Structure 1
Amino acid sequence: MIGLVLAAGAGRRLRPHTDTLPKALVPVDGDTTVLDLTLGNFAKVGLTEVAIVVGYRKEAVYARKEELEKTYGVTLTLIDNDKAEEWNNAYSLWCARDVLKNGVVLANGDTVHPVSVEETLLAARGDGKKIILALDTVKNLADEEMKVIVDPATGVSRITKLMDPATATGEYIGVTLIEGEAADELADALKATFERDPDLYYEDGYQELVNRGMTIDVAPIGDVRWVEIDNHDDLARGREIACRY
């Protein structure tokens, strides 16, 4: 199993920080970035091979590749997303379809979270589970969050931002464990998703899998502090949280 980071997005709502950097390289604790935190988490749970999907301002990630490898004791493979500034992240995850076959812990490049999230996902493996989503069942939800409805018997039934928060079981935080045996099915679902609409999220690919009959499981992360950094307010919260980890 390896680590996988999606770090191709432009992060336009974080300008001017993202004028020259991808979101994943915006500092959140001194010189420490979200990518630093994620690689540190992966190393702590024994994931020493990591693939990073890059696109917008990818040269900044290439420039730090050797330094990051030495700092965190990992081997990095960079995967270019040629449509990073045109299409949404369903395509970005599809670009990593070959490495999915290794089994991955996937982390969005804009999610500040503690290593306990990775530990929770790895502890939840087994019993035929193919895909396990890290789920926050504690947070009060609003319209922007990626909300999930879970059936205790059959797993995820719906994942979308477009639902009444009151109906959701919790929020998907942007970290997933994907077993290698799910790789081909997931790649096919992602392809169907971005071919239907290139603006769709990879979570819409998860919904496609559910619609096709695959069981997607969840692992509640407990009461932990984390944030998805989309805008300047999120960045301020990320900086408050990152210094704790």
Structure 2
Amino acid sequence: MIGLVLAAGAGRRLRPHTDSLPKALVPVRSAGQAGIEEPVTVLDLTLGNFAEIGLTEAAIIVGYRKEAVYERKAALERTYGLRLTLIDNDKAEEWNNAYSLWCGRDALKDGVILANGDTVHPVSVERTLLAARGDGKKIILAVDTVKSLADEEMKVVVDPAKGVQRITKLMDPAEATGEYIGVTLIEGDAAPELADALRTVWETDPQQFYEHGYQELVNRGFRIDVAPIGDVQWVEIDNHDDLARGREIACQY
């Protein structure tokens, strides 16, 4: 199993921070904190999580300002002891992330822990996913069942006997079991079916999220499971308020 990070997005709502950097490389912890010589980014935190659970390899899907990730590749490998492969998304500034994850379809064959490049979260999330493996589960979503939900969150409805039934932002929060936080364990034998679902989604509408690929799988009768992460501090960084919250949380790790 390897790590996989979606880091191709432009993060336009974080400008000017993202004028010259992809969102995954916006600093969330300053240099000098906890003995760190360089600013710590969401990508750093995620790769650190991967290393802490024993992964030795990760792939990063890059697109917008990808040269910044290429420039940091060797330093990231040294810091986290991971062998990194960068995967180019040629449509990163035009299309949404269903296509971006599809670009990483070959990496899925190894089995991955997938993390969005804008999700600040503790390593307990990855550990929860690993602990939930087995019993034939092929895809396991990390889900927050504690947080109060509103309109923007990626909400899920889960049937205890059948797994995920719906995953969408377009849902009454009162109907949801919880929020998908942007971290998934995907077993290698799920790769062909997920890749096919993602292709169906982006060919239908290139502006769709990869979570629509999960819904496409569910609609086809594929079971997707969830693992509740408990009461932990995390945030998806979409805007400046989220970034401030991410910096508060990152200082706790």
- Range into which the TM-score falls when normalised by the shorter chain: over 0.9
Shift in Å at residue 128 of structure 1?
Answer: 0.2
Q: Which runs of 5+ in 1 are unaligned?
A: none
Q: Tell me the TM-score normalised to structure 1 length.
A: 1.00
Aligned to 2:223: 215
Aligned ranges 1:40-189 → 2 under 5 Å? 40-189=48-197
Matched, 1:201 2:209: yes
Q: Tell me the TM-score normalised to structure 2 length.
A: 0.97
Provide the rounded CA distance (Å) in 2 between the counterparts of 1:59 and 1:46.
28
Q: Which runs of 5+ in 2 are unaligned?
A: 31-38
Shift in Å at residue 48 of structure 1?
Answer: 1.2
Q: CA offsets per residue over residues 165-213 of structure 1, 9 Å max, x none?
A: 0000000000000000000000000000000100000000000000000
Shift in Å at residue 158 of structure 1?
Answer: 0.1
Shift in Å at residue 50 of structure 1?
Answer: 0.2
Provide the rounded CA distance (Å) in 1 between the counterparts of 2:49 and 2:56.
10
Provide the rounded CA distance (Å) in 2 between the counterparts of 1:97 and 1:37.
23
Cα RMSD (Å): 0.3
Task: Name the aligned partner's letter for residue 213 of structure 1.
Answer: G
Aligned residues between the structures: 245
Aligned to 2:23: 23
The percentage of counterpart residues that share the same residue type is: 83
Which consecutive segments of 4 or more residues in structure 1 shift more than 2 A?
none
SS of 1:244's partner is: coil
Provide the rounded CA distance (Å) in 1 between the counterparts of 2:109 and 2:132.
19
Provide the rounded CA distance (Å) in 1 between the counterparts of 2:107 and 2:244.
33
SS of 1:195's partner is: helix
Q: Identify the match of residue 230 of structure 1 among 207, 215, 238.
A: 238
Q: CA offsets per residue over residues 207-244 of structure 1, 9 Å max, x none?
A: 00000000000000000000000000000000000000
Q: CA offsets per residue over residues 41-81 of structure 1, 9 Å max, x none?
A: 00000111000000000000000000000000000000000
Provide the rounded CA distance (Å) in 2 between the counterparts of 1:241 and 1:124.
25
SS of 2:166's partner is: strand
